[in-house]
Amino acid sequence: MLVVIAGSHGFIGTALVPHLRRSGHEVRILVRAEAHGPAEIPWDPGTGRLDPHALAGADAVVNLAGVNVGSRPLTAARKREVLSSRLLTTDLLSRTLASLDDRPRVLLQASGIGAYGSRGDDVLDEGEPLGTTFFAGVVRRWEAATAPAQDAEVRVVHLRTGIVLGQGGGALGRLLPVLKAGLGGRLGSGRQFWPWITLVDEVRAIEHLLTAPVHGPVNLVTAPSRNAEVVAALARALHRPVVVPVPAFALRAVLGDFSSEVLGSIRAVPAVLDASGFVPTHGDLRSAAEWVARAR
Q: What pLDDT is attached to residue 257?
A: 63
Spell out the domain ranges in the chain: 2-294
Residue 72: predicted pLDDT:
72
Asked whether the beta carbons of 266 and 223 are under 8 A apart, the reply is: no
What is the predicted pLDDT for the residue at 179?
Answer: 79
Assign 195 a pLDDT band (cuts: 50, 70, 90).
Answer: very high
**What average pLDDT does the segment 111-124 reach?**
95
Could you say which architecture CATH assigns to the domain 2-294?
3-Layer(aba) Sandwich (3.40)
- The predicted pLDDT at position 69 comes to 79
Instruction: Read off the pLDDT of residues 121-141 as tens digits, 9 standing for 90 and up.
Output: 999 999 999 999 889 999 999
pLDDT tens figures, 142-166: 999 999 999 999 999 999 999 999 9
pLDDT-based confidence at residue 246 (cuts at 50, 70, 90): confident
pLDDT of the residue at 189? 87
pLDDT at site 254? 57
Q: What is the pLDDT averaged over residues 13-17?
A: 97
pLDDT in tens, 41-96: 999 999 999 999 999 999 999 999 998 876 677 788 989 999 999 999 999 999 99
Burial status of residue 71 (CB atoms within 10 A of its CB: 0-12, 13-18, 19 or more): exposed
- pLDDT recorded at residue 45: 95
Q: What is the pLDDT of residue 165?
A: 93
